[in-house]
Amino acid sequence: MLNISKNSIISRVDENNFMTLKKVESKSSRKTFIRFLFIISIVSVILLFLPWTQNIRTNGSVTTLKPDQRPQTINSVIPGRIEKWYVQEGDFVKKGDTIAFLSEVKDKFFDTSLLSRTQSQMDLKNSSVDSYKSKVLALNGQKRALEELRKLKIQQGKNKLMQARLKAQNDSNNYQAAIANYQAASSQFNRMDSLYQEGLKSLTDLENRRVKEQKALAYRIETQNKWLTSQNEIINTQVELSNIKVKFDSDIAKVNSEIFSTLSTQFDSEGTVTKMMNELSNYSKRNSLYYILAPQNGYISSLIYTGIGETIKEGAPLVRIMPTQYQLAVELFVDPIDLPLLKIGQEVRIQFDGWPAVVFAGWPNTSYGTYGGTVYAMDMFLGDNGKYRVLVKPDTTDHEWPDALMFGGGTNNMILLNDVPIWYELWRNINGFPPDFYKNQKSLKGIKK
């Protein structure tokens, strides 16, 4: 049968007695096998021309779309000592519910009447500020009075100076008249003397003229003296007027100095009051920080400090809480070589851990148990794991994601790219070429818009 030996036993064996041998030796089985190989080849060739959706396979995890919807740690703003817990792990809390109570550990805040004492100090300082304000008002009034008095005194001095000048002018006129009178008397005496020498006048007349001349000389000297006295009065009045200006300027400058000094003290007191108001506000706020409150609705996932009387530092984490209201998303990571193939809004098929699924990598539309998503955001920097982080949100046009999904669950993701024939995909993988990526003209116009 295998034609190893030249001796044949076909003539000695009756094939009709052996049905299996008869079927094997029949020529119809060979035709059937050849037909089978031909059909397989035709089907394989047809399969090579079937469409295949290129995709990027990557793992990820379930997360939330917004940062405030993710699990968070509640920290203590101030240092303190844990006095009481109001919750336990697994409890549901609403926003504003009390989680724990802390007591003070700093001796600066041990005083139970700290707020009232600080308020009293601030009230006293405010009274001091009011006193300084009143003093400034009084000094400003004194300054205005001095300015008015200075104005009057200067006007009075100017009037006195004008009177002195007028008197000096009058004395000057009298002096000039006395000079003219003396000159006339002297001329008359000289003429009388000439007439006396000629014997035309008597000695008595000559002596009378001499007396009149001497009186005119005396009056001239008297008026000259009065005129010089008037000149001195003018100078004295000018000096007095200058002294008035200097005196009042000095008094006003002194009042201004007191005003500025009082204002400086007032501003310093107001600064102290503002500082005390800040301290009072800080003390009031600190009292409210003794109670650790829930920032939003959620479940207590774990207590980091579990004892009573434990001392915690400023900013120490106390509780981890998981919000109840959140919008799920998938966080996945892609290699740098695949990042240029992605764009915002690109379709992604997601298989969640724990949900049964039948996945055909190249035919996502025929897969069962996968859910749709679209690329929402991509990081522009490389992560610590050497990959780029991509955030995927649910596709509103596809089936809704399961309600029982929990934060942190694993996912198996397919980022869908172009549709190509299977033969091309095989050829691309054999040659190690990257997936095709191109944009049609419609998408390019939309991007330009």
Whether the predicted pLDDT of 10 surpasses 80: no
Average pLDDT over residues 185-194: 81
- Higher-confidence residue of 293 and 354: namely 293
Q: What is the pLDDT of residue 15?
A: 60
What is the pLDDT confidence band of residue 200, given thresholds at 50, 70 and 90? confident
361 pLDDT higher than 60: no
The per-residue pLDDT for 438 is 44
Per-residue pLDDT band at 444 (split at 50, 70, 90): very low
pLDDT tens-digit map of 402-433 = 887 888 888 888 777 666 666 766 776 676 66
pLDDT of residue 217: 84
Q: Which of residues 339 and 417 earns the better pLDDT score?
A: 339
Provide mean pLDDT across the span 161-169: 87
Q: Given a cut of 60, is residue 230 above it in pLDDT? A: yes
pTM of the predicted model as reported, rounded to 2 decimal places: 0.55
Chain region(s) in the chain for CATH 2.40.30.170: 52-68+326-448
Predicted confidence at residue 194, as pLDDT, reads 82
Q: Taking 80 as the threshold, does the pLDDT of residue 364 lie above it? A: no
Tell me where in the chain the CATH 1.10.287.620 domain(s) lie. 114-288
pLDDT score of 127 more than 70: yes
Q: Is the pLDDT of residue 26 over 70?
A: no
As given in the structure block, the two tokens for residue 32 are 């059937």
3-state secondary structure 382-449: CCCCCCEEEEEEECCCCCCCCCCCCCCCEEEEEEEEEEEEHHHHHHHHHHCCCCCCCCCHHHHHHHHC
303-328 per-position pLDDT tens digit: 888 778 888 888 888 899 988 888 88
With CA atoms as reference, report the closest residue to 60 among 410, 414, 377: 410
Whether 357 has a pLDDT exceeding 50, the answer reads: yes
3-state helix, strand, coil in the chain (%, to 5): 55, 20, 25
Rounded Cα distance between 368 and 164, Å, is 122
* pLDDT value, residue 21: 62
Cβ neighbours for 154, distance < 8 A, ≥ 6 positions apart: 241, 244, 245, 248
For residues 384 and 17, the model is more confident at 384
Q: Which amino acid is at 149?
A: L
* Fold observed for domain 71-100+293-323: OB fold (Dihydrolipoamide Acetyltransferase, E2P) (2.40.50)
In CATH terms, 52-68+326-448 corresponds, of 3.20.20.70, 3.90.740.10, 2.40.30.170, 3.30.2310.20, to 2.40.30.170
pLDDT, tens digit (0-9, with 9 covering 90-100), for 57-86: 788 888 888 888 888 888 888 888 999 999
- What is the predicted pLDDT for the residue at 442? 42
Q: Average pLDDT in the 87-95 region?
A: 89
pLDDT at 22: 62
Q: Among residues 306, 302, 305, which one has the least CA distance to residue 322?
A: 302
Edge to edge, the sheet with strand 92-93 lists 72-75, 317-323, 298-303, 92-93
Asked if 81 and 310 touch (Cβ cutoff 8 Å), the reply is yes
pLDDT beyond 80 at 384: yes
Strand locations in 86-162 (E) = 92-93, 98-103
The CA-atom distances, in angstroms, between 224 and each of 172, 180, 212, 237 are 8, 13, 18, 20
- From-to residues of CATH 2.40.50.100 in the chain: 71-100+293-323
> Residues 252-259: what's their mean pLDDT?
90
Q: Is the dihedral of CA 83, 86, 87, 92 positive or negative?
A: negative
Q: Which of 153-162, 259-268, 370-379, 426-435 has the lowest mean pLDDT?
A: 426-435
Architecture of domain 114-288 in this structure:
Orthogonal Bundle (1.10)
pLDDT at residue 449 is higher than 50: no
Q: What is the pLDDT of residue 161?
A: 86
pLDDT of 262 over the 60 cut: yes
For residue 7, the model assigns a pLDDT of 64
DSSP run (H or E) holding 57: strand 51-64
